[in-house]
Amino acid sequence: MLINRPPDIPTSEITEESLYTTRREFLLAAGFGAAAVGGLLPFSRTALPWGRGPDDDKLTPFEDIAGYNNFYEFGTGKDDPARNAGTLRTRPWKVEIAGEVATPAAYDLDDLLRGLTPEEHVYRHRCVEAWSMVVPWLGIPLGRLIDRLEPTSRAKYVEFTTLFDPAQMPGQQRGILDWPYVEALRMDEARHPLTLLVTGLYGKPLPNQNGAPLRLVVPWKYGFKGGKSIVRIRLLERQPATTWNIAAPDEYGFYANVNPEVDHPRWSQARERRIGEFFKRKTLPFNGYAPQVASLYAGLDLRKNF
């Protein structure tokens, strides 16, 4: 469950990451029984979504997740978002719902998500530059929101448009990309239970530099598919154009599934470096989520549809 914190709470009062990651042991040592711990803390690091234990996939420290980002709206350097994203105002925040839905309208974010309680999901997060993290996201399965929107029978794709405001996002003052940033999924991808609308991480509201107040996470795809600071969700009958596919179609396909057999034209995708580790590790098909998602692409040429 995500507990929103007022902006005036000092960071010194936020639970430290070391306590967060060992909170079960802390409660048990304090005299709480196992049943009480299970009831208060349903998240378990030993039950990761892809079935591997914590020794194989250690959580990336909060400081690295919040300090090493791709968010070109705030600059192209990995530390630019953390340095520049303080200009972003995340409340009030409107999200336009458009296209093939029963009632298109602009909603206040809190009203749009009311009753959809965020859950904790530990996912691998991999960038096309061959670096990766393991992130404890707080998010809502996107399919739940789609059901609430009552899509028509013509809705085959879901498009996400992010904020365009150069005054708040100084990186948009440069023509790096064709702003605003747009990404999209097929409807079956969007409805998959691993696909999240994320509102937080490490038990805290989502930092600005990580896409506050609302971003997309699709863990079997490269990170650029996860649009940040979303202001419009549109359901469409036809596949829409997406930002990086427009900018470099030979490098960034619409699907962006993690496929170690398909290299980026300028580097190999066969191995990756986990942030905080020295040695590279083998890249797994679909980022390790093949048992859950490979069936979505049965019969699809994953070299041609990269």
| 81-90 pLDDT, tens digit each | 999 999 999 9
CATH topology of domain 64-297: Sulfite Oxidase; Chain A, domain 2 (3.90.420)
The answer to whether 45 and 122 are in contact (CB under 8 A) is yes
Q: Could you report the per-residue pLDDT of 120-152, keeping only the tens digit for each?
A: 999 999 999 999 999 999 999 999 999 999 999
In the chain, domain spans: 64-297
Residue 278, Cβ density class (10 Å: 0-12 exposed, 13-18 middle, ≥19 buried): exposed
How would you label 44-62 residue by residue, b for 16+ Cβ within 10 Å and e otherwise? eeeebebeeeeeebebbbb
* CA atoms of 158 and 146, how far apart (whole Å): 9
Apex 240 CA angle, 181 and 142, nearest 5: 75
* CA atoms of 15 and 130, how far apart (whole Å): 31
* CA atoms of 260 and 271, how far apart (whole Å): 7
State the pLDDT confidence band at 17, using cuts at 50, 70 and 90: low
The answer to whether 259 and 285 are in contact (CB under 8 A) is yes
State the pLDDT confidence band at 4, using cuts at 50, 70 and 90: very low
- 3-class secondary-structure state, position 57: coil
> CA 260 from chain center: how many Å?
21
Over 90: is that where the pLDDT of 30 sits? no
pTM across the whole model: 0.84
